Structure 1
Amino acid sequence: MVNLKMLSICSKTTKDLSFYRTVHNFQHYSEISNFSEFYDYFQWSKDNAIKIYIVGNGSNTLFTKKNIKSLVLKNKLPNKIEVLSEGNILVSSSVLIIDILKYCYESSFDSFYYLASVPATVGGALAMNAGRGRHHNLSIYDFVESVTFFDAEDNQIKTMDKTQIVKGYRETIFTGLTSKLILNATFKFVPKELDSNPIIERRKWSKEFQDYSVPNCGSVFKECDFKILEKLKGLCISQSCFSSKSINWIINRSQDSKPIVLLIKIAQFLHLLKFRKAILEIITVE
């Protein structure tokens, strides 16, 4: 059994672990800078029957209760972008997506510029198979060669091809509460003539068509009936609302996550009445 005194688990009250900016009391919180630390925390979580959640930048995370019992580990692996060869780069999971895109633009490479408005880390984007909307059929994995991760279940570092990782739209073997820590990924980019700055263009588009005026985590559902969500636009509970501007987004000014949870439950209930599916894209953690 792992000794708690040997680990740096503490309680922490903060709003900075989710882009909804709700305030929570994290009863078990720590930061990890290498896979050995993660292994120790994983063993402690098993010994104490406590769920574990790795948070990157919190851009798609909803903490559903005031007091969070899960062991929340902040990814603090060293940031690294290493050029392996022309167009091939190795990127650590803690690097922000925007930093890869800046590298690609400066090097005149094609890339997932449509993610320029997403404040995610590489690890978070890989875990959720980030991309454009379903009908675009575009994802970060279009540029991924392989992903290296630490599997705490058998205490091994593994490297997998992307075909072994992606399970479906917005879903991979890493999605949600997990025993696997993404360490890095190898990307392959090809040259592309860029007439303008695609990062700036995407941010301009996002400012015009998406609702970044208030804290949010982007799309709430990965599968839903948009006719139902269209009718929910502007619906508010306390200081949390379905965005009037961006369908399938909840914007939030509240420190409490309960109104967000209630809005989600309303949407799910309406889907149930219509015999439709409403499957969450955001990750919920208790």
Structure 2
Amino acid sequence: MMLWKKKRKNTIGCTKKLSEICTLRLHEPLSKHCTMHIGGPAEAMAFPETIDEFIAVVDYCQRSNYAYRVVGNGSNIIFDDAGFAGVVIKTSKMKHISFINDHQVYVEAGMSNQAFILQCHERNMGGLEYLYSVPGTVGGAIFMNAGRGKEHNLFIGQKVLSVDIWDGQTRRTLSARDCEFDNRQSVFHHHRDWIILGVLLVMKKISPEEGKELIRERMEFVNANQHRMLPNCGTVFRSGFHQTLFPQLPLRVGHIVTPNNNANWILNEGGALACQAMQLVEMIEEEHKKNNLPVPVREIEFIPTA
């Protein structure tokens, strides 16, 4: 993901040109494009279907000094209640996949984790079934180095051979070492102007039946331990969070509430606002400060209007 801000240009002129590159929607409600179901309208939302279209959209926004934001499935973000004053570029239609051989696969960043895993099973490939429960894209999983958790030592970065990126000027390829994968971290956290285009992964041989059973086990665990019935953005903090500071749950601000047993998870009961989510997250952070503990590192990101 990335945000580019510069001086504003004429909206009508920009959107006319962008609509010639790819599908474009004006005043698109951003609540429809994030798992928290929060956010006002984007001035424009672009849906490139190929990497070439994507690069053309980004290049035009840069040359036109127009604010833009790249998103995948929106599972770790909360848009502002006023929306976004610029172009939101959604990668969900960039989902081409190529099976190089019986253990290597190249996939574009916009494919969902679920679709990717199921297509791999059709070719007797597996090894990332623990990501089936993550409601994001492959690009998002690479950005976060998504996995099952530090205690299990299972992360997508372990499967990466290389990652294709757009660095703001050129398309280039990074090795797995270049990506600096760590627990829920990667080099992309430090280079927000780098955009993940696609990734080459090495998979293990697995039968479709084995894969289906691993998915069943994962979803059984998730449904028993996570709160997925209401709109949410998953884990709020990726590190430094102390559950013991919150013996009295749930916490609530307006229509944003935590579950009864986990203050590192926030839910939208319906009609919630970004400002309510921000207030609750800041309350949790303040409780850490009061107890002389470092502020936990956020996994979610609040995206301002501009």
TM-score, normalization by structure 1: 0.87
Q: 1:41 to 1:19 in 2, by over 3 A?
A: same
1:78-111 superposed Cα distances (whole Å, 9 cap, x missing partner): 4222211111111111211112222344445441
Q: 1:264 to 1:228 in 2, by over 3 A?
A: farther
SS of residue matched to 1:159: strand
Q: Does 1:65 align with 2:81?
A: yes
2:109 — aligned with what? Answer: 93
1:83 — aligned with what? Answer: 99
Alignment partner of 2:279 out of 217, 240, 262: 262
Percent identity of equivalent pairs: 24
User: Structure 1 residues 217-226 or 176-185, which shifts more?
Assistant: 176-185
1:8-157 equivalences under 5 Å are 8=19, 10-46=26-62, 51-151=67-167, 153-154=168-169, 156-157=170-171
TM-score, normalization by structure 2: 0.82
How far residue 245 of structure 1 moved from its aligned partner, in angstroms, is: 4.2
Count of equivalent residues: 284
Q: Does 1:197 align with 2:197?
A: no
Contact 1:147–1:160 at 8 Å: present in 2 too? yes
Q: 1:168 to 1:177 in 2, by over 3 A?
A: same
Q: 1:227 to 1:253 in 2, by over 3 A?
A: closer
1:6 — aligned with what? Answer: 17
How far residue 190 of structure 1 moved from its aligned partner, in angstroms, is: 1.7
2:5 — aligned with what? Answer: none
Residue identity matched to 1:90:
Y
Q: 1:199 to 1:46 in 2, by over 3 A?
A: same
1:110-134 superposed Cα distances (whole Å, 9 cap, x missing partner): 4122111111111111122111223
Residue identity matched to 2:195:
L
User: Structure 1 residues 235-244 or 212-221, which shifts more?
Assistant: 235-244
1:194-232 superposed Cα distances (whole Å, 9 cap, x missing partner): 397111111111111110011101100011232356436
Aligned partners of 1:258 and 1:176: how far apart in 2? 26
Contact 2:47–2:93 at 8 Å: present in 1 too? no
Aligned partners of 1:90 and 1:139: how far apart in 2? 17
Contact 2:40–2:80 at 8 Å: present in 1 too? no
Aligned partners of 1:64 and 1:283: how far apart in 2? 11
Aligned partners of 2:84 and 2:211: how far apart in 1? 48
Residue identity matched to 2:173:
T
5+ unaligned residues in a row in structure 2: which ranges? 1-8
Q: Does 1:271 align with 2:288?
A: yes
Q: 1:178 to 1:41 in 2, by over 3 A?
A: farther
2:234 — aligned with what? Answer: 218
Residue identity matched to 1:188:
V
How far residue 15 of structure 1 moved from its aligned partner, in angstroms, is: 1.8
Q: Does 1:250 align with 2:261?
A: no
Residue identity matched to 1:30:
A
How far residue 50 of structure 1 moved from its aligned partner, in angstroms, is: 5.2
Residue identity matched to 1:22:
I
Aligned partners of 1:49 and 1:177: how far apart in 2? 19
Contact 1:20–1:216 at 8 Å: present in 2 too? yes
Aligned partners of 2:63 and 2:197: how far apart in 1? 24
Q: 1:229 to 1:80 in 2, by over 3 A?
A: farther
User: Structure 1 residues 122-131 or 238-247, which shifts more?
Assistant: 238-247
Aligned partners of 2:222 and 2:68: how far apart in 1? 33
What's the RMSD between the two structures over aligned residues?
2.7
Aligned partners of 1:259 and 1:119: how far apart in 2? 23
Contact 1:209–1:246 at 8 Å: present in 2 too? no
Residue identity matched to 1:63:
F
SS of residue matched to 2:81: coil
Q: Does 1:236 align with 2:278?
A: no
Residue identity matched to 1:171:
Q
Aligned partners of 1:248 and 1:239: how far apart in 2? 16
Alignment partner of 1:171 out of 160, 185, 204: 185
